[in-house]
Amino acid sequence: MTINILFSASSESWEKYKQPLRTELDKLEIKCQLGPNFLPEVVDYIIYAPNSELAEFSPFIRCKAVLNLWAGVENITGNTTLNIPLARMVDYGLTQGMVEWVVGHVMRHHLGIDLQINSQDGIWRPHVPPLAEDRIITFLGLGVLGTSSGQALRQLGFKVRGWSRRKKSVDGITCYHGNDGLKYALSGADFVVLLLPNTPETENTLNRETLGLLKKGAVVINPGRGPLIEDEALLEALDSSQVGHATLDVFRIEPLPETHRFWSHPKITVTSHIAAATRPAYSAPVIVENIRRGENGESFLNLVDRQSGY
């Protein structure tokens, strides 16, 4: 029987994905119909992005899995009409994109690049930055993205710490876990990079108390999700110079409203949720591999644990 694959995301995404998906499906000789419109009762797989209008999954009675195009799944994990496996996106393009973004933004502050760019005024300033090994970088979240970014910075010589929910051991990274571990992970850190999922447990992980644990003047880098940081506490910490700068890619409301204080704050850099995009050429093979697995009765890759929310 021909399988039907519903593509449920924005119409612009469909234009970008239809060819890479078709190419991968043909490579694996998966006989199927692929498109943005099917009757729910004939759909076997849903390729999904949270910008789709689909919110009611009950009519998809023969569907075997929902394959999310994004790494973050907070918009769908709580959907009670979804009772089939949900896979999130893990692929080379996302990981490499995040590694490059995190390393770039850390190096900007580590080397004091802003000062150099803004001081081309004829005044000789022999300001030598410390070596990477003299800086501590803490990753909140030691999953696919936190681990890869942390290891890249470790390669450059930084002292890297990481914090996760469960106990972990990662080469080159000093690992902490659980509530107690958070204070050890943050104490005296020069940088904190947030790569946690957005769940009820992770909301406001950086707050007045935890921001106070960082080294004075530390840099906060958030490519994870907006709710991980208590906004007011961050603004206070910036104003008191407990935090020297915050580079934020994600926000409680996106796009970040034009009038939001973050845009004009001299110690905040806003980027527009671009740290790591899902790229069709890298994600299509992962989606299609999951369809192949579904058709062969094998377990799906990158399944979301609905209980823990990520």
137 versus 142: smaller Cβ distance to ligand NAP: 142
42 versus 90: smaller Cβ distance to ligand NAP: 90
Cα→Cα distances 16→9, 93, 136, 196, 213, Å: 11, 15, 40, 28, 44
Encoded tokens for 288: 């299609």
Residues 6+ apart with CB under 8 A from 222: 193, 194, 228, 229, 246, 247, 248, 249, 250
Least Cβ distance, residue 25 to ligand NAP (angstroms): 25
d(CA 121, CA 102): 30
Cα→Cα distances 170→33, 129, 136, 225, 302, Å: 42, 28, 16, 23, 19
Least Cβ distance, residue 310 to ligand NAP (angstroms): 5
Residue whose C-beta lies closest to ligand NAP: 143
Least Cβ distance, residue 209 to ligand NAP (angstroms): 15
Helices (DSSP H) in the chain: which residue ranges?
11-27, 92-111, 113-117, 144-155, 178-186, 208-211, 231-239, 261-264, 280-295
Question: How many other CB atoms sit within 10 Å of the CB of residue 32?
Answer: 18
Least Cβ distance, residue 138 to ligand NAP (angstroms): 12
Encoded tokens for 182: 């958070």
74 versus 295: smaller Cβ distance to ligand NAP: 74
198 versus 210: smaller Cβ distance to ligand NAP: 198
Least Cβ distance, residue 240 to ligand NAP (angstroms): 26
CB 154 within 8 A of CB 160: yes
Place of tokens 């496996």: 85
4 versus 52: smaller Cβ distance to ligand NAP: 52
Cα→Cα distances 21→45, 278, 283, 292, 301, Å: 13, 13, 9, 13, 17
| Burial call 88-99: b when 16+ CB within 10 Å, e when fewer | bbebebbbebbb
Encoded tokens for 187: 């104490």
Instruction: Report the DSSP pairing between strands 159-164 and 136-140.
Output: parallel
Least Cβ distance, residue 166 to ligand NAP (angstroms): 3
3 versus 256: smaller Cβ distance to ligand NAP: 256
- Residues annotated as catalytic are 225, 273
- Contacts with ligand NAP by CB under 6 A lie at 71-72, 90, 94, 141-146, 163-166, 168, 195-199, 201-202, 223-225, 249-250, 273, 275-276, 310
